[in-house]
Chains A and B, each alone.
Chain A
Amino acid sequence: EPEVTQTPSHQVTQMGQEVILRCVPISNHLYFYWYRQILGQKVEFLVSFYNNEISEKSEIFDDQFSVERPDGSNFTLKIRSTKLEDSAMYFCASKGRVGSTDTQYFGPGTRLTVL
């Protein structure tokens, strides 16, 4: 069964550093998402991406965040200058291929630890 993959599984960084989280969505999916989950809290929507541009973003997704689909397979989330409060699990999701339901399929997540 096709699945969303994410790398790395765990990223440790120093406060103020830039990090790039990578995702490979399910092939032929059209919509791409990033979510985060701070330990013990809810899964929070960050941003959605469709047709090579951001479709929707939450208040969390400020100027420190950016997304990119540099080629036909990867979808990345960049945090320009990490803060302690950025420590969380980051999940990528994708949905929408021809003939599919509209279910979002989530990846296993990247655990980001900011020191």
Chain B
Amino acid sequence: LAKTTQPISMDSYEGQEVNITCSHNNIATNDYITWYQQFPSQGPRFIIQGYKTKVTNEVASLFIPADRKSSTLSLPRVSLSDTAVYYCLVGDARSGGGADGLTFGKGTHLIIQP
């Protein structure tokens, strides 16, 4: 599994766009990039997944440059309720075995202030 590096914490304000960058220099050809969000005392929640270029859903956008050695999760117009830990995971999400457990790092603790 490719190792990921992301900031331990970030602060922002309501209404701002927040970008969290994750480095994964050893990403493999078959690896996908997945972001999860976790609120205190709750299970991780899937946000977005991508392989290359840009992916957008109703919650976030994921930007992946051509070399795929990093990725950026973009949260538009954050609110107080976006305060959470955000995890970047890299792995072969579509492996034939399919049963691989996820490896979580420490994530980025995002704090949104009024």
Contact = CB atoms under 8 A, between A and B. Distances in A.
Contacts of A4: 43
A106 B99 contact: no
Nearest to B43: A106
A103 B43 contact: no
Please tell me the size bucket of the interface on A: 20 to 34
A42 B8 CA distance: 12
Interface stretch (A13-21, A43-51, A73-81): A43-51
A103 B105 CA distance: 17
Interface in A43-99: 43-50, 55-56, 58, 89, 91, 93, 95-96
Interface string B26-68: 0000000010001001111110010000000000000000000
A109 B45 contact: no
Interface residues of B, number: 23
Contact of B101 (A45, A89, A102, A108): A45
B41 A109 contact: yes
A91 B44 CA distance: 9
A56 B46 contact: no
B77 interface: no
Contacts of A103: 34, 46, 49, 93
Interface string B59-91: 000000000000000000000000000010000
B41 A48 contact: no
Nearest to A90: B43
A102 B99 contact: no
Interface string B84-114: 0001000001100111111111110000000
Nearest to B95: A102
Contacts of A44: 104
Contact of B105 (A42, A49, A89): A42
Interface of A: 4, 30-31, 33, 35, 42-50, 55-56, 58, 89, 91, 93, 95-96, 101-109, 111
